[in-house]
Each structure stands twice: as C-alpha cells, then as structure tokens.
Amino acid sequence: MFSRKNRRPKSAELLKAWECLDAGDLPGAVRLLRAAGEDLPPGEVALVVGRAAKAAGFDDLDRAAGALVSRPEDDRALYDFGYACIERGLSFLAVPALREVLTRNPGALQVVRELVAAYESENRHGEAVEVLARHESGFEEWPDRYLLVFNAVMAGDLALANRHFALLPDPEDPMWLPARQRQRRMLERAASAAPASALDRTDLRGWQFVLGGTVLGTLSPYGFGAGMNGRYAWLQDSYGQCLRGLLRLKALLDAAGVRPRSVSLLPDRGSRILGLAAAEILGLPAEPFAPGCEDTVVIAYDLNELAEVAEGPEILGQLQDRVPGQVLHEHASSWTDTPVVTADSVALLHQAVVAPWEGQLRAGEDGEVERAGADDRPDALIAADIVGADPSPDEGDGETPTDPDEAFTGFVTAVRDSWLQGERTRLKSTGPVPSSKFA
C-alpha cells in the first residue's frame, strides 16, 4: 500500500480537505472535494482521497488512490481510480479521471461506459448523452444504444430517445429484456402524458410519471422560483396536508376508473394512521396488508419508514412486483433518498419530513423554538383528526403555478391507460427537473 508519509497536497482547495481529515471530519473533507471542482491534478486529488479512503476502511479505493499518486499520468491507474470511486459512491471524483483516460484513448468503449455510469450517478444525463452520441459509430447496441436511450429520457430529450429506441434491436441476451420493457413503458408514458403536460424542465408531475409511473398529487407551494420546482426541502407536515393528499388519491382513482375493494394497512405507525384515514375517505374497509391481495390500495406514509420495521424489507420486496388491481400510495416520498419501491401514487416529494404525530417544532411560551412531544394517542384518534382537518392548500410564497383539481384530473384522464404498468422499479435519478437541496 502506498505510503503518504510527509506528503501533503499543494492546492489550496485540497489543503482544506486535508485539514478536515486532520480534524477527523471525513464528511466535511468529501464535501470540500466535491466543491473543489474537476480541474485539479489527479495525483493530488488521489492523495486526499486515499487518506479519506483509509479512514473509512475502503481498502480498494485506498489502493487505487495510492497507485494514482505514484503514477498520475498512467491510464490504467486513472481508470482503476475512477472505477473504485464509482463503487464507493464517489462518482463525482471518477468523472475527471475517466474523462482524461478517454481523451487519450478515443473510442475505448469500456471507458465510455464507466464514464457514463459516473455521469448517471451524478444526474448529469446530458453529458452522458453527449459522450455516448460521440461514440455511436463504434456502438454495441446492448448496452451502448440502450444507455443512450435511457440517458436521453433522463435528460428530457424525448425526440432523441424515440429515434434511438426505434434503432435498438431486441437483445439476444435475455438479461436485457426487462430493461427493454422498462424503456418501452417509459416512452409510452411520455406519449400519453404529452397532450396534458408540458414535459419541460419545470414539469415535475409529468416527468415523475414518465420516469417511474408515479402520479404526483401535490406540488410544494414554496421555492418554485428558487429552484425547488414543486419539491419540498424540509417539511413539517400537517393533518390538512395528509387529507389533501388522500383527496387527490381519491380523485386519481375516480379519474382512472380504478375501483379498489379495500385499504391495506402497512405495519409502521405512520402508515397505519394514514391508512385508517384513507379507509374513511375512500369508504372502504381497512385490512392488514397481505401479500398478493388484489383490488386494494396499499397506504404508506413514508416507504423509508416502512423499511425500518422488522417485516418492512420483506413487504417492500413483495410490493416490487405488481398485483392485479393493487395501487401503492405513498404520502411523503423522499426524492434525495428514494425508496427501494416506487409508488404508483405519491402525495408530495420531500428531502426531510416531520409527520404531524411526531415531535414537531413550535414556539414556546418564552418565544424560543422548542420540539413538542410526540402524539402517543391511539392510531384511530389521530386518523380521525386527519379526516376532520382542513384540506385547503397552503398559499405558499405566490411563485408556484396553480394546480387546480381540474388540471390534476385532466392529467390522470390522459395517462390512465399507461398507469399501473410494469414493476415498481426504484427511481434513482431526479430526471430532467432539477431541484435545490440541502447538502
């Protein structure tokens, strides 16, 4: 393993990250590495990354960084460093290393694919499209043209995606057949959404449907003009917002012509509460979730919370594959830490949320902000508070476009024939609609 004794980076940006490591602040060092940009000498970057990798116990990345420090101009060392960075969730560090290798080895498809993987992990789909299109003459249809179609959709270029999808033959290897079907469904959803949706870089509802088959119930009324585009950053949820999400779910089912016979209750507390309220709003009996149950609405407050209960991971696996007549509704879905299952209906997208029955922040008697205690009343009583709440939308900051019920049901009517199709694959990219977020 490479010795870093008496070696320090020279650039000011990397020295700040080095000092964070001196202080034992590994996350801070990683944030500074990201902020440093992509134009710094690879050997110096690797010096810092190697030290960080050693502290984290990432021996593979430590070895790759050490090799790059020793041979900063070596293509193999650059490639191995980039590969190790992707494997360890540090794709932003892989991009400049792999891009340099590709510059010196034009047409090297294995390098192209790794660079595309790094771009995808960073939601830089437009750059992935550019590098793939530049190498089209040497393509292997699978995976290269498939990757071009995928990234064109994620970048919002449906014309390019449709053109290359038409050129993409059916794969000879059956392992690619599910990917082929997912792409076909994406483009079919886009075609159905186009008459009722702008599908531009601010059309959050339209693109959530195209990418994951999710119908998004409501948009955040804050920060639209500041780059949130309908997503929440931090949200202190309310009973009224819960009710508004359930009313949008009812409107969705009615407009789509879906007639469930029951509400399925998931085992985590938030989902039980919301499920009891949903049963009242929809006029349906509530039953514990049972695998394979047809014609039911499965209600989740936050699928990431479900993952934390003992039987949660098993249930999430059961929800991955679609059951006839089953609709999965999630109230508060994380867009920065996406759940392993993508719901059919989502009330709102958040980065961080505090449920109404959890300890919320409030002003104390002395005017200071304090956290209230959690509401430990029985689930049914809290559900009744949701049913009796005021569902009027928050007026927000006045910058969010209006979202009347008529527009929502019009969208659902347009897309209902392509809704509830295929498996509920995890959605890892934000797609063409960007959002600001907390670091």
Q: Tell me what percent of the chain is helix, strand and coil, each rounded to the nearest 5.
A: 50, 10, 40
Alpha carbon distance 164, 240 (integer Å): 45
pLDDT digits (tens, 9 = 90+) for 172-214: 999 999 999 999 999 999 999 999 999 999 999 999 999 999 9
- What pLDDT shows up at residue 336? 95
Query: Backbone phi, then psi, for 354, in 5-degree steps?
Result: -120, 115
114 vs 373, more confident: 114
Angle between the 269-282 and 239-256 helix axes, to the nearest 10 degrees?
Answer: 50
- CA–CA gap between residue 73 and residue 198 (Å, rounded): 47
Q: Where are the domains of the chain?
A: 12-184, 200-418
Each residue of 210-258: pLDDT tens digit? 999 999 999 999 999 889 999 999 999 999 999 999 999 999 999 999 9
pLDDT, position 363: 67
What average pLDDT does range 129-151 have in this prediction?
Answer: 97
Rounded to an integer, what distance in angstroms lies between the CA atom of residue 246 and that of residue 313?
25
Instruction: Encode pLDDT of 54-93 as tens digits.
Output: 999 999 999 999 999 999 999 999 999 999 999 999 999 9
Q: What are the pLDDT digits (tens) for 355-371?
A: 999 988 776 666 677 78
Confidence of residue 438 (pLDDT cuts 50, 70, 90): confident
pLDDT of residue 361: 77
The predicted model scores a pTM of 0.94
Residues in Cβ contact with 235 at an 8 Å cutoff, skipping those fewer than 6 apart: 220, 332, 348, 350, 352, 353, 354
Instruction: Please provide the CATH number assigned to the domain covering 200-418.
Output: 3.40.50.2020
Q: What's the CA gap between 255 and 258, in Å, rounded?
A: 8
Section 82-108 average pLDDT:
97
The whole-chain average pLDDT of the chain stands at: 95
Cα distances (angstroms) measured from residue 68 to each of 8, 22, 78, 313, 334 = 15, 22, 6, 40, 37
Residue 1 in this model has a pLDDT that exceeds 90: no
Q: For the segment 392-406, what is each residue's pLDDT rounded down to a tens digit?
A: 999 899 888 999 999
Alpha helices in 257-377 (DSSP H): 269-282, 303-306, 312-320
Question: What are the beta bridge partners of residue 354?
Answer: 236
Phi, psi dihedral angles at 222 (to 5 degrees): -120, 140
Tell the burial category of 115 from Cβ atoms under 10 Å away from its Cβ (0-12, 13-18, 19+): buried
Q: C-alpha distances in angstroms, 281 versus 247, 324, 377, 396?
A: 7, 22, 21, 26
Name the CA radius of gyration of the chain, rounded: 24
Maximum Cα interatomic distance, the chain, rounded to a whole number of Å: 71
Q: What is the pLDDT of residue 372?
A: 84
pLDDT at 2: 45
CB-based contact 347:248 (threshold 8 Å): yes
How far is CA 6 from each of CA 3, 58, 64, 433, rounded to the nearest angstrom? 9, 21, 19, 46
Q: Name the percent of the chain lying above pLDDT 70.
A: 97
- What confidence score (pLDDT) does residue 330 get? 98
**Per-residue pLDDT tens over the stretch 308-346:** 999 999 999 999 999 999 999 999 999 999 999 999 999
Mean per-residue pLDDT, 159-174: 97
Q: Is 327 helix (H, G, I), strand (E, B) or coil?
A: strand
For residue 187, the surrounding DSSP H or E stretch is helix 177-193
C-alpha pair distances (Å), 269 with each of 33, 272, 340: 40, 5, 19
pLDDT (tens digit per residue) in 26-61: 999 999 999 999 999 999 999 999 999 999 999 999
Per-residue pLDDT at 306: 97
Q: Which CATH architecture has domain 12-184?
A: Alpha Horseshoe (1.25)
Pair 32, 90: CB distance under 8 Å: no
Read off the tokens for 46. 């690797």
